[in-house]
Structure 1
Amino acid sequence: MKNKPLATFSSIVPDLKDYLRGKMRGYKSTINEAPIDLKTLDPKTEILGCFVDSHVDKSVFDKLKKLKMIATFSTGYDHIDLKEAKRRGIPVCNVPTYGENTVAQHAMALMLALSRKLFQSVKRVKEGVYDYHGLRGFDLKGKTIGVIGTGHIGIHLIDMLDGFEANVVAYDAFPNKDLEKDHAFTYVSLDKLLKESDIISLHVPLFPTTYHMINDKALNKMKDGVHIINTARGGLIDPEAMVYALENGKVGGLAVDVLEEENYIAHPEKIDKKTTPEEIRASLMENIIIDHPNTIITPHNAFNSTEALKRIFDTSVENIKAFSAGEIQNDVTKPKKKK
């Protein structure tokens, strides 16, 4: 590609604008701090860079008549209409790995925070009450911890848990038996994991097959008082089922970094006539979850370390430069080549 394409980037934090601008030297780039806004989006954009807080649907494609490539600053890509991208022949290039240790650390932090009632402890002291009564936690040592998904993040968490002397079991739709040899865990069926785990941590993508995988049926199989961690995708958990499970004590603690309707949680003013009753109900249920005393909710922050963000930008710029050179890489609209 002789002429460098015009690139538009969204949701870029101010302190890393110069870093990205330096990486994109030689390109015409527009760098915005806010997520994609259809009203202000430059119709001349040829390369679109975005995080998961920007929804790239048909209306975005319709406005960007010159769009040639999308660089998503994430591993997941459920915020992009892949069918529309495929129909228009526009590659969507992701970041396969960038923060497996970063996200795993956040999951570990949430797990420790739940086990030692850290949020309640800090809150109590800041409110002027210096008293530990009612704040008893539990040890991770000897507990059975179920990890659903043994990709990069799941395996990093498993390695961290080894230091806590926990009994780790895992489920994966496509188990890699070689991983069992090098890491301290055992593959089990999903049913067995749900029934035997004291703590469950979710590390799978959001697909039709995983949507609301933590639902009434799954919750009923779990131990009473189970603790659940989710740093993957909000849609993995049925929020209505979770509200009832928290209320009746089936779930003793929930710590999540993602919500199914986090766009409406962050921006309730966006709820309008186009919002479906299902979306409104899910949003209401998630507000109840946020306010529940046995939950910890962080604002999709697990990826957010300086080092991880720089790795995201590094890979994304490599994707853009490869595309400009006629060599498309990390395109999720194409099936992966078998090794």
Structure 2
Amino acid sequence: MSTLTLDKVKTIKTLNNIAENGLKVFKDGEYAIDNESENPDAIVVRSFNMHEMELNNNLKAIARAGAGVNNIPVDKYTEQGIVVFNTPGANANAVKEMVLTALMASSRNLFAGIEWVKGLQGKGEEVPSLVEAGKKQFVGKEIKGKKLGVIGLGAVGALVANDALELDMDVIGFDPFISVNTAWELSRNVQRAMTMDELFAEADYITVHVPLTDDTKEMFNEKTFNLMKPGVHILNFSRGELANENDMEVALESGKVGKYISDFPNEKVLNMKNAVPVPHLGASTSESEENCAIMATRQIKEYLETGNIKNSVNFPNASIPYTGKSRVTAFHRNIPNMVGQMSSAFSHNQLNIADMINRSRGDYAYTMIDIDNDVNGDVIHSLEEEIKKIEGIITVRVI
């Protein structure tokens, strides 16, 4: 158990190149960007592997400028009361455009055709006639009127589904955990699959937009391939581990799967027949990187200055208007009577509660309490020490 007290000047460390417009969120005089710091208040990261990093007890927050957090040991930091943020939706348009590009280009055999044409270098005046004679081997098919299955209707999946409808595709979607906001944004013309097996059976093309979990790992395998239409195209811009690569190789060789477009190539994928390896370009646009950086840094700034949490992957979202009065925040175990004990500490120190919020997520919870009184440092210190002694408290911070 530790106590974290906010310093006047907050130190921010970046572990990757972060877009300059994102770092501009941190005002000079209030924040210092110090990438050599051993004791930062917060870290902004993209793909840097943090699993072997040793962190100090001053660190309060980590923001991943992107959606996936596989490079961050979230469970470890949760136990220490360190908030881990991500930026869902900030790179959604970039990924959507790449998915639709790959969908059309692979359906028309564009990648293989271009590679073949480049092999005609040195043929001189024969090139035009060779192209005309050889182009028939790359005859593709149009996507208009075909059915696209979208697994995962979050920020990216919903955009893909809506835009595919505009391309005159039929769209069927599956997401048992669809949010209310996404449901409002999703076109009513997207058909709902009641099960993933139903989607597998109906789709000509399948694109997947779900996180890697124990339930989704190797979701594309021999069993699920047997449910699909012969020659189905599968697009994977989420995680390479969603596919059983041994089974995928066999399915591609037999033609059961017509194309496998993967944004996560490795040696095995490179040697698969009819696999289209994309060099992890899904979110690689200057606009996307800037959007993610701005969103990540704003979330850190809001948290450090007010304690409000939005888009955390390990603690509940919690927000109350910040009036400038003293605010006490605490991460703690999600066990009975925690709020009651904290309220008692306020009473013991003759402090009135102006506003309060308590939110839980699994085994952990977060509480913010605003103090109604004008108080001096000694009283705050006494309150802080009393809350620290409560069994189940992980960290306490006074803003």
TM over 0.5: yes
Instruction: Note if contact 2:23-2:293 (Cα within 8 Å) is conserved in structure 1.
Output: no
Deviation at 1:175, TM superposition (A): 4.5
CA contact (8 A) 1:158 1:183 kept: no
The residue number in structure 2 matching 1:70 is 62
Alpha-carbon distance between aligned partners in 1 of 2:312 and 2:185, rounded to the nearest angstrom: 30
- Report the CA distance shift for 1:215/1:42 in structure 2 as closer, same or farther (over 3 A): farther
State how 1:89-238 maps to structure 2 within 5 Å. Answer: 89-128=81-120, 130=131, 131-175=134-178, 178=183, 182-188=187-193, 189-238=195-244
In the aligned structure 2, how far is the partner of 1:97 from the partner of 1:225? 31
Q: Higher strand proportion, which one?
A: 2
Q: CA deviation at 1:181?
A: 7.4
Residues 1:233 and 1:4: Cα distance change in structure 2 (over 3 Å): farther
User: Which residues of 2 match residues 75-90 of structure 1 at below 5 A?
Assistant: 75-90=67-82
How many Å apart are 1:227 and its aligned residue? Answer: 0.4
Tell me by how many angstroms 1:192 deviates.
Answer: 1.1
TM-score, normalization by structure 1: 0.80
2:300 equivalent to 1:314: no
Unaligned stretches of 5+ in structure 1? 32-40, 260-285
1:56 to 30, 44, 50: 50
User: Which deviates more from structure 2 when the two are superposed, residues 178-187 or residues 82-91?
Assistant: 178-187
Give the drift of 1:42: 4.5
The letter of the residue matching 1:301 is L
Give me the whole-angstrom Cα distance separating, in 2, the residues matched to 1:236 and 1:75. Answer: 16
Check whether the contact 1:175–1:187 (CA below 8 A) recurs between aligned residues. Answer: no
The separation in 2 between residues aligned to 1:193 and 1:74, in whole angstroms, is: 28
Q: Does 1:8 align with 2:7?
A: no
Structure index of larger Rg: 2
Cα drift, residue 169 of structure 1: 0.7
Q: 1:253 aligns with which of 259, 265, 268?
A: 259
The 5-angstrom pairing of residues 274-289 of structure 1 reads 286-289=266-269
Secondary structure of 1:6's aligned partner: strand
Q: CA shift at 1:136, angstroms?
A: 0.7
Is the alpha carbon distance of 1:192 and 1:309 closer, same or farther for their aligned partners in structure 2, counting shifts above 3 Å?
A: same
**Equivalent residues, number:** 297
Match of 2:375 in 1: none
Superposition deviation, residue 170 in structure 1: 0.9
Equivalent residue, structure 2, for 1:28 = 32
Measured on the aligned residues, the alpha-carbon RMSD in Å equals 2.3
In structure 2, the residue matched to 1:268 is none
Displacement of 1:174 in angstroms is 2.3
1:25 shift after superposition? 3.6
Does the 8 Å contact 1:72/1:94 carry over to 2? yes
Task: Tell me which amino acid in the other structure corresponds to 1:222.
Answer: M
Task: Judging by fraction of residues, say which structure has more helix.
Answer: 1
Partner SS for 1:210? coil
Moved more, 112-121 or 180-189: 180-189
